[in-house]
Amino acid sequence: MPNWIYPDFEPLPKRPLFLCIISNTDTGKIPGLSAAGTSPELTDYTPGADAELVETNRIITMPELPEAPGGSPTPAIVTKAALNLTGIPSLFVASGLRKKPAVPYAELGGSAGGDIRKGPAVPGARALYENGALLGKKLARLSDCVFIGESIAGGTTTAMAVLWALGYDVNVSSSFQSNPTALKQSVVEEAFSRAGISTGSLKNDPLKAIEQVGDPMMAAALGLMQGLRGCRVVLAGGTQMAAVLALGKSMNIEGDISIATTKYIVEDRTASFKEIVEAAGRSYYYSDPGLQNSKIPPVQIYAQGYVKEGVGMGGAALLAAINGFSQMQLVEETDRVLMTVELPKK
């Protein structure tokens, strides 16, 4: 057993597939909420740029590398490094995505999510769920173990909103080192008041929770989980994916479903990752990407709690570990990816 993942992940998948759902939500543009993209305007481009980085190591449709405040680069570099090492195929899945990447991806349709304070966030949640299920059913015929990550700026606030609507009294993580919990709470309270819902009032109506206060990533993830029954499913992410586990429980989705994340999320005291996963009745895995050993300072500070998760980095790192790569190999490949990524010419 590799010594940088916990607990052991068995059996070894034969034909693993790494999916990553890419979506936009206007909730992510509320100033101060999300750390993905250096300005609210650029957050629309972040998921597509993450896809471009992972698929080709080039940024094509965004003017710069997606960054968090503090200057840390997108966690897509860790995901890319893990997929480079293992050769595991990836497929990005657009769900309510405004700015499309210039690389191949699967399209589920839908519009970007709205600001949850102002109106129903995902009116087309059911259609996205159904398209996700349709795609999941096909992929279950081809793969025996599907990882599902996400890239959606502002997704932790909609995760908090959905968890509260389902009756979970919990906090969520942040890509900031210092979690803007109070701001998130006030956004969620405003959304609840607008939608006329209260804590736990949608615990038996997960699709309505997404429709009112969620985001398009959740609808796609829930549909994929449903369609992938019979196949092992590992959600790859922090509290956002834990919220999807909670949605799945509310919908009685059965199957071999778990979640994989980073040590940084598991150790985040401002968030309730373990509590949510346990309440949803699922098990979790985590990897320690060891990024303090990076030679690049903005990558080193991941280990101090910046960024923490995203683009399924924790799950991708786990895949590297179970395929026999060392923590140091992942760190070195992550540095190499960042040093060689091609940016648009200015």
What residue ranges bind a second copy (CB under 8 A)? Answer: 15, 17, 55-56, 87-91, 94, 100, 102-109, 127, 131-132, 134-135, 137-139, 141-143
Query: For the purposes of burial, counting CB atoms within 10 Å of the CB of 127, is it exposed (0-12), middle (13-18) or buried (19 or more)?
Result: middle
Give the residue with the Cβ less far from a second copy, 130 or 332. Answer: 130
Shortest gap between Cβ of 124 and a second copy (angstroms)?
A: 10
Under DSSP, the state recorded for 102 is S
Q: How far is the CB of 105 from a second copy (least distance, A)?
A: 6
Task: Round to whole Å and give the CA distance between 204 and 200.
Answer: 9
- Whichever of 82 and 108 has its CB closer to a second copy, that residue is 108
Is residue 202 a contact partner of residue 209, using CB atoms and an 8 Å limit?
Answer: yes
With the C-alpha atoms ordered 270, 274, 280, 283, is the resulting torsion angle positive or negative?
A: positive
Give min distance, CB of 49 to a second copy, in A: 15
Q: Residue 138 Cβ, how far from a second copy at the closest point, in Å?
A: 4
Using an 8 Å Cβ cutoff, are 212 and 339 in contact? Answer: no
329 exposure class (CB count in 10 Å sphere: 0-12, 13-18, 19+): middle
Q: Smallest distance, Å, CB 100 to a second copy?
A: 7
Give 106 or 317: the residue with its C-beta nearer to a second copy: 106
Q: Which is nearer to a second copy, 141 or 346 (CB)?
A: 141
Nearer to a second copy among residue 100 and residue 336 (C-beta): 100
Beta carbon nearer to a second copy, 108 or 331: 108
Cβ pair 253, 229 in contact under 8 A: yes
Q: Which is nearer to a second copy, 102 or 251 (CB)?
A: 102
Type of residue numbered 298: P
Measured distance CA(114)–CA(154) in Å, rounded: 11
**Nearest-approach distance from CB 103 to a second copy, in angstroms:** 6
5 three-class SS: strand
Calpha distance 96→99 (Å, rounded): 9
Q: Are 92 and 17 in contact (CB under 8 A)?
A: no
Nearer to a second copy, 30 or 128 (CB): 128
CA distance 66 to 69: 10
**CB of 117 vs a second copy, minimal distance in Å:** 29
In whole angstroms, the minimum distance from the beta carbon of 130 to a second copy comes to 9
Distance (Å, whole) CA 50 – CA 47: 5
